[in-house]
C-alpha cells in the first residue's frame, strides 16, 4: 500500500495526534483540538512554521500562531526565561519539525517513501492562490487549496495555534 492510498482523514488524525503528543512530551502541555475545517482559510499569523512533505504524497504541514503563544512555546520548549525573536523562530521551527517527524515516522515505517524538508519559519498572511490579493497587502504566500485547518488551544488559553495540512 502506498502513502497515496492512505485516506486524508487518517493523515489528519495523525497530525492531530502528533501535535497533542509533541506538546505533552516536550512541554507537558495538554492541547485541545477544535473543529476541523475541511477548507483553506486565509491565516494571518505572527509566526508560521512550514515543513514540506515529499514522497508518494506531496504537501505541507503548517503551524501558525500569534506572538504571545509563540513566546510561551519558546520559553517552555527551550527552557528559557525570556524568548527573543531568534528563540521564537528556533522553537516554532523545532515544533513544526517534531510534529512533521511523527508523521514521517508513522508513514515511513508502514508505507515507505516519506521525506521532509527543512522547516521554514515566516510571518504574515497565508491565503489561497485563488483568492485575489488585498490592495493594502505588502506580502503574502500563496498555498494550494486542498487541505484542512485544525485549531488547538490549551485549557487556560495561553496557547492558541492552527495546524494546517495541505496534500
Write out pLDDT tens, residues 84-121: 999 999 999 999 999 999 888 887 776 667 889 999 99
Please say if the pLDDT value at position 163 is more than 60.
yes
Please say if the pLDDT value at position 132 is more than 80.
no
Q: DSSP string of 45-91?
A: EEEEEEEEEEESS-EEEEEEE-HHHHHHHHHHHHT-SS--HHHHHHH
Residue 131 pLDDT level (bands cut at 50, 70, 90): low
Q: What are the structural domain ranges in the chain?
A: 3-166
First to last CA, the chain: 17
| Predicted pLDDT of residue 166 | 81
Residue 139 pLDDT level (bands cut at 50, 70, 90): very low
Q: 166 pairs with which residues across the strands?
A: 60, 147
Is the C-alpha dihedral spanning 113, 14, 109, 27 positive or negative?
positive
| Predicted pLDDT of residue 3 | 53
Using one digit for the tens of pLDDT, what is the confidence trace for 59-85?
889 999 999 999 999 999 999 999 999
Please say if the pLDDT value at position 138 is more than 60.
no
Report how far apart, in Å, the C-alpha atoms of 91 and of each of 14, 23, 26, 136, 162 are: 21, 12, 11, 30, 16
Strands, E, within the chain: which ranges?
A: 31-33, 43-55, 59-65, 114-116, 120-128, 140-143, 147-154, 160-166
Assigned C-alpha cell, 141: 504566500
Assigned C-alpha cell, 70: 509563540
Please say if the pLDDT value at position 146 is more than 90.
no
Q: What is the mean pLDDT of residues 53-59?
A: 82
Query: What's the mean per-residue pLDDT of the chain?
Result: 83
CATH class of segment(s) 3-166: alpha beta
| Predicted pLDDT of residue 48 | 92
Nearest Cα to Cα of residue 77 among 123, 16, 122, 23: 23
pTM over 0.85: no
Amino acid at each position: 500500500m502506498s502513502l497515496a492510498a492512505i485516506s486524508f482523514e487518517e493523515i489528519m488524525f495523525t497530525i492531530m495526534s502528533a501535535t497533542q503528543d509533541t506538546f505533552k512530551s516536550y512541554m507537558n502541555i495538554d492541547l485541545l483540538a477544535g473543529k476541523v475545517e475541511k477548507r483553506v482559510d486565509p491565516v494571518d499569523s505572527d509566526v508560521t512554521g512550514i515543513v514540506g512533505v515529499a514522497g508518494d504524497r506531496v504537501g505541507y504541514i503548517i503551524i501558525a500562531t500569534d506572538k504571545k503563544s509563540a513566546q510561551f512555546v519558546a520559553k517552555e520548549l527551550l527552557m528559557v526565561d525570556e524568548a527573543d525573536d531568534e528563540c521564537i523562530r528556533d522553537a516554532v521551527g523545532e515544533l513544526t519539525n517534531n510534529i512533521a517527524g511523527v508523521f514521517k515516522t508513522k508513514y515511513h515505517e508502514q508505507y515507505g517513501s516519506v521525506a521532509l524538508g527543512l522547516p521554514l519559519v515566516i510571518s504574515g498572511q497565508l491565503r489561497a492562490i485563488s483568492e485575489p490579493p488585498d490592495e493594502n497587502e505588502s506580502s503574502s504566500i500563496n498555498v494550494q487549496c486542498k487541505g484542512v485547518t485544525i485549531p488547538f488551544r490549551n485549557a487556560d488559553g495561553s496557547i492558541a495555534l492552527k495546524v494546517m495540512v495541505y496534500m
